[in-house]
Structure 1
């Protein structure tokens, strides 16, 4: 397939391009900066500069790629700017989908999140709606993508691994470590970024709808925080006294469709030399 990957230089985009190429697909991957083109080209993709808020720029990307599939992996979380990320989910998604319709692209796969469904103790399946206001723009993104002739929404778990906040490259500054170790709820579900990319490649053949992409072991904060802190060479922080309960997320649907994460649990991924989280002895 010919694939237009919007967000090719981000954490998952860097994993997706080589995975897609290895699966035999042709990939045109976008970034906002020409300077990142070498990263995309080095992974086997065709780099494109695209501004998702510039209609002409988006049309030029579609004209160059002539895609069979649009993969929407755009985020704006570099500075943890919630408003900017909400804008890209709403305005950016709308602009991409308008261009896809105009260029006859019916198959769309987009990034969403799994961890903002209603709190509870039972495993959350894909029928659970996202709670409004917790992740601004995510419900609107899902609704827009699912309205496409063939729209797939991937609700990823919390990322870790190369290029994410939870990686061996996380700066050893108090603020960076705070973000890496901050629990969003008492119960969380994780996924290694390379496993998320592998699921996304599989999703090219999945029917439309929502699919959770998480590992096999939901975790409470008191369990995962010390393990991640040790991997990052940081002191183990205290678990906040008051947290939303959260919800364990089921990956049964993705598993039934062939998803087999290399790191079935964060317990393995955080401490594996191949997980991209453990700092080298020289870095500690």
Structure 2
């Protein structure tokens, strides 16, 4: 297949492109500083790039998180995704696979499933993130065939949660909480493997995360130990209702996706 990989220079894109090529796919990399250099906020430029690429599939792995600017990332999800989907549909592309997140769900007591609604009524600053996710997913659903990958919190080489990553630096400065909020984590290699597999998955939303949602009071000290920095003090209190983690039951049982690192405990040992 001819695959337009939007976000080819990102953390996932850099690892994804060689895997796709090894499987015999022809990959056209699109990014601000990529082989096809395009600002995805420029609709005309995106339309021309997709038209010229003539892809069978568009793989959307675009983010704008290098500086931690969540508003900029949300704008990319809204505007950039809209431009990319419009261009894909105009070019006759049937399948779009897109990156989303697994922590935009509404409050609840158990790990969220794909049927759990998004937290559309969230207050700011969370509303900026959730609104961007909702806009991205709504646009992607317009494709005849679409898969939305709701990734857990990524860790591993070149992510924020790497030994030399941003969150290790924040932890060393005492700026990471070890509290009751629950997260689902995901090794970067498992995120990439899921994107490859999604080329053949039926349309729908898929939680892509490991098997063990955990409170920050559990996983943050383990991450800090793996990163070689001092762990923060464990704090008590109630968790935020939306900080519930996500279930990968659908991906495992219905799609046959098995993470190489089924728990952050195993994955952190590789940092």
TM-score after normalising by structure 2: 0.89
Q: Deviations over 1:37-69 (max 9, x none)?
A: 5xxxxxxxxx21111022332133213421101
In the alignment, what sits opposite 1:4? 4
Q: Deviations over 1:162-190 (max 9, x none)?
A: 11101123269854756994569611100
Aligned-pair Cα RMSD in Å: 2.2
Q: CA deviation at 1:267?
A: 0.2
1:77 aligns to 2:72 (yes or no): no
Q: CA deviation at 1:109?
A: 0.9
* Mapped partners of 2:232, 2:71: distance in 1: 28
1:152/1:73 CA distance change after superposition, 3 Å: same
Name whichever of 190-199 and 130-139 sits farther off: 130-139
1:253 aligns to 2:241 (yes or no): no
- 1:105 pairs, out of 76, 85, 93, with 93
* Mapped partners of 1:269, 1:87: distance in 2: 31
In the alignment, what sits opposite 1:202? 197
* Mapped partners of 1:238, 1:229: distance in 2: 11
Q: Deviations over 1:11-36 (max 9, x none)?
A: 11112112212222111112212xxx
Q: Deviations over 1:131-189 (max 9, x none)?
A: 12432310111111123211211100000011110112326985475699456961110
1:178/1:165 CA distance change after superposition, 3 Å: farther
- 2:160 pairs, out of 162, 165, 171, with 165
1:177/1:115 CA distance change after superposition, 3 Å: farther
Alignment partner of 2:100: what SS? strand
In the alignment, what sits opposite 1:281? none
* Mapped partners of 1:257, 1:221: distance in 2: 29
1:223 aligns to 2:227 (yes or no): no
1:93-242 to 2 correspondences below 5 Å:
93-132=81-120, 133=122, 134=126, 135=129, 136-170=131-165, 174-175=169-170, 177=172, 181-182=176-177, 186-242=181-237
* Mapped partners of 2:82, 2:173: distance in 1: 33
* Mapped partners of 2:221, 2:103: distance in 1: 21
* Mapped partners of 2:269, 2:192: distance in 1: 20
1:13 aligns to 2:10 (yes or no): no
Structure 2: give runs of 5+ residues left out of the alignment.
Answer: none
In the TM superposition, structure 1's runs of 4+ consecutive aligned residues that sit over 6 Å from their partners are none
Q: Tell me the matched-pair count.
A: 261
Q: Deviations over 1:173-221 (max 9, x none)?
A: 8547569945696111001111011011111111111110001111111
* Mapped partners of 1:225, 1:170: distance in 2: 14
TM-score after normalising by structure 1: 0.85
Structure 1: give runs of 5+ residues left out of the alignment.
Answer: 38-46, 278-284
